[in-house]
Chain A
């Protein structure tokens, strides 16, 4: 099996790849989906609600893609609008009020790009999620189940733990965009993907993620349960650790988790 960076990018985007709702159904019980940002609309690119994880109430939120063109149109191909991020924020604040952890599923090429998104403050919506997540007093775990692109993915990933499936990816922008902006040749996306260190092993090495969640040899779509059993166990174990921290410890650890990123020199 070819495992070059660009092949992993392609796998992360496959239409057959299980979506957030399928992960939720397989990991949690008693899921109830909640809708709307209470300001403007219900963005169907973001789904969220409450559920039980081994008897523990949790808030689950994720970017939802579709398996068909019709569903993908309805879901904006998994590119949230500002109201999607604001729905996410509303549900996270609700989780904070009722003291339950937040589990996020990331699978987006990036925030939706359009006139309405700009009119309603796409930048502000992402920024608001970042600053609010930095101070959210309950544990947050983000799992990249497919694509992760740009600020639109980061808005769901300022978390205490960030995990990624074998064929997930996370980058500052798509390799196509990178090749076209920096080299003016979108056809060099394979080179870009290689350079960008966007695969799970690279990100683990860089400390951008803490854990790689394996996919079955016969493929995630064919054997989702293989992955969700591992995820369920990992989530349960990790939340137990995070639940035992004081709020101060939790927020401090989250602060320094992101504080460390950067490579620079202070020499003359």
Chain B
């Protein structure tokens, strides 16, 4: 029996669908020179390859979901789920449809997460990748539903799930229903975990609010990219509450590692190999290939 219908493969190529000029900072514009928004050094764009790491300070520029999938999955192995799912307007928020349309035309995504089946180092995995260029990857109904379905598929097919998180938190424009997505995704993870299956959470910049308070923090193994912002309350909100400036390292990946909330910080160039190493220690390739 085939695990999945073999269709709708999406080839992930480095020259992605989105023109860089359409993306807001901090991404890499079309120009020959760009300024790293971490070390402020001007960098020749040719020095930056598809990993998009600052050669001077090692800052990891934010990736689109497509760029991330290209770097992570085995060639031609990504099969997308629910690619047409898009938001409605549960709260009748004024102009929500226009906000969504704008984000859609900017990112060529229907909403802020891509989910699908893929192979990583030959291992069958369900993958979800959030895209911070889509409304700062805030979690509304679509993000919550796609991630829940991905987790449920992984549970049903007895597969590991890897979620690359990035999010400003709950999508305010969807009101209380966006808050409920935290409960929904966490409940799905509870079932996946009870089935003895592996969940790797890979936290990328930035992961805050409702996503940090749900699936991002629930991995059996939690990895992060260097210098990613990770926290629950927003930095400015805390500064406003305590009326003082917070140190620069506050709520960074390094801060979270120090405080015991991450298993490991992994640079982008090592990420795929690290994931393969972890998968190797949990999964058997043959079982699924013969399945």
Contact = CB atoms under 8 A, between A and B. Distances in A.
Interface of A: 111, 113-115, 117-124, 126-128, 130-132, 134-135, 150-151, 154-155, 157-158, 170-173, 178, 181-182, 195-198, 203, 206, 208, 254-255, 258-259, 261-268
Given A118-B233, A128-B218, A197 B175 contact: yes
B175 A127 contact: no
B86 interface: yes
Contacts of A203: 176
Given A123-B216, A182-B173, A154 B179 contact: yes
Contacts of A113: 233, 237-238, 241
A127 B216 contact: yes
A131 B246 contact: no
B82 A266 contact: yes
The dominant DSSP class at the B interface is helix
B103 to A, nearest CB: 15
B112 to A, nearest CB: 12
B186 A117 contact: no
Contact of B217 (A127, A158, A170): A127
Nearest to B180: A261
B179 A172 contact: yes
B187 A261 contact: no
B44 interface: no
Interface residues of B, number: 62
Nearest to B194: A135
Interface string B239-266: 0011000100011000000011100000
Closest 6 CB pairs of A and B: A123-B212, A262-B141, A261-B180, A130-B186, A123-B232, A134-B187
Contact of B233 (A122, A208, A268): A122
B214 A130 contact: yes
Nearest to B144: A262
A208 B250 contact: no
A226 B52 CA distance: 63
Interface in B204-245: 208-210, 212-218, 230-233, 237-238, 241-242
20 contacts: A114-B241, A115-B242, A117-B232, A126-B214, A127-B212, A127-B216, A134-B187, A151-B170, A151-B179, A154-B182, A171-B175, A171-B179, A172-B174, A173-B170, A255-B187, A258-B183, A261-B180, A261-B183, A263-B87, A263-B177
B170 A172 contact: yes
A127 to B, nearest CB: 4
Most A Cβ at <10 Å: residue of B92, B186, B193: B186
Nearest to B261: A121
Interface string B81-92: 010111111111
Given A122-B233, A182-B172, A115 B238 contact: yes
Interface string B166-201: 000010111111111111101111110110000000
Contacts of A197: 91, 175-176
Contacts of B241: 113-114
Nearest to A121: B261
Most B Cβ at <10 Å: residue of A128, A135, A181, A267: A135
A262 B84 contact: no
Nearest to B244: A115
B93 A195 contact: yes
A123 B212 CA distance: 5
Contact of A123 (B88, B144, B231): B231
Contact of A263 (B88, B183, B191, B215): B88
B175 A261 contact: no
Given A117-B233, A150-B179, A259-B148, A265 B85 contact: yes
Most A Cβ at <10 Å: residue of B92, B187, B212, B231: B187
B142 interface: yes
A267 B84 contact: yes
